[in-house]
A and B are shown apart, each in its own frame.
Chain A
């Protein structure tokens, strides 16, 4: 009798152990740390005023670039960085007939920066901005590529590519409401700037 009870207890503890391991595995997933480059020769504290150039839109979402630019500007301002008004930036780009910010040579970037009287310009692209259909649920996904160029030297100050999104454990298994696409966009921008400021 005692032997049977002990065996049951052992079986139960084994089951608990297995369940715990599986649960940990399911909850954890794979984390995605931001890997970025920061120029060691430039002090980021010197960057007080920046211009955010229009991003290249590599997604099928018509306004993904404009939405992300808005989030970038909001985030930079909240960190105490001065940002040039987008209208001013667009006017300067129109004068120089710039089509794509990622295809600008360094001399043009420097001219734009000097004309706008900023310390650095940020350009890049949005590669993903959409709701994806997963195995059982839909989830938001946003990915951005950003580069900051020093206006004086023309050197790259900082560069990063980052993504955020995917279905959380609670969304996958319990159908709880996940983050929206706009919330995910804010997260990807916050996480990428957290590496810099």
Chain B
């Protein structure tokens, strides 16, 4: 009976551990075209992201993180950001965040990339939960095939808030940078699932 009680106690602790983990509010939705062979994509260009937050640099921070994570993942090569800017200037593209099919195809031909990544940063900052403030990040990314201009991958990822263990037991909470890193890494991971 005592052994059983002890086992129950240990299990409760373990369940708490697994439930709390390292994540808090954490949602992702993504789509990948089933009729596209992603292995043909060798090099991509990451376009500047639309920044829908109050943080001026949020778009550029997330963009650089996407470039770093794509390279580190080994999935694809990434065009140097300066080359992307040159292409945009030379092709006379005014709005970087709303590209037409023809512009996507033109960028692909100019930079010799098989896909471009576009998207937006919707949340980037601290939110308050009663007396606690915690980081919150939400991003949406799209990959367009430069052969056709069609969207072949899209993901929306959000993460934020203080976890159960942080709120009640003072466990370490993620910093803003750790939160954005996790959001981007998990978004890129959905691309790796092919």
Contact = CB atoms under 8 A, between A and B. Distances in A.
Given A26-B171, A36-B72, A165 B177 contact: yes
Instruction: Give the interface SS of chain B, mostly helix, strand, loop or mixed.
Output: helix
Interface in B44-88: 57, 60-61, 64-65, 67-69, 71-72, 74, 78, 80-83, 85-86
30 contacts: A10-B2, A17-B6, A17-B9, A18-B9, A21-B17, A26-B171, A26-B172, A35-B72, A37-B68, A102-B81, A104-B80, A106-B82, A108-B82, A125-B60, A125-B61, A127-B64, A147-B80, A154-B80, A156-B71, A156-B80, A160-B68, A161-B64, A161-B68, A161-B69, A161-B181, A163-B177, A163-B178, A165-B175, A166-B175, A169-B172
Contacts, number: 141
A105 to B, nearest CB: 4
Contacts of B67: 159
A136 interface: yes
A139 B135 CA distance: 14
B92 interface: no
Given A106-B80, A143-B177, A25 B71 contact: no
Interface residues of A, number: 54
Interface stretch (B28-36, B98-106, B112-120, B161-169): B161-169
A180 interface: no
Contacts of A156: 71, 78, 80
Interface residues of B, number: 46
B64 A167 contact: no
B85 to A, nearest CB: 5
A90 interface: no
Interface of B: 2, 5-6, 9-10, 13-14, 17, 20, 22, 57, 60-61, 64-65, 67-69, 71-72, 74, 78, 80-83, 85-86, 131-133, 162, 165-166, 169-178, 181, 185
A21 B80 CA distance: 47
B71 A128 contact: no
A166 B178 contact: yes
B176 A135 contact: no
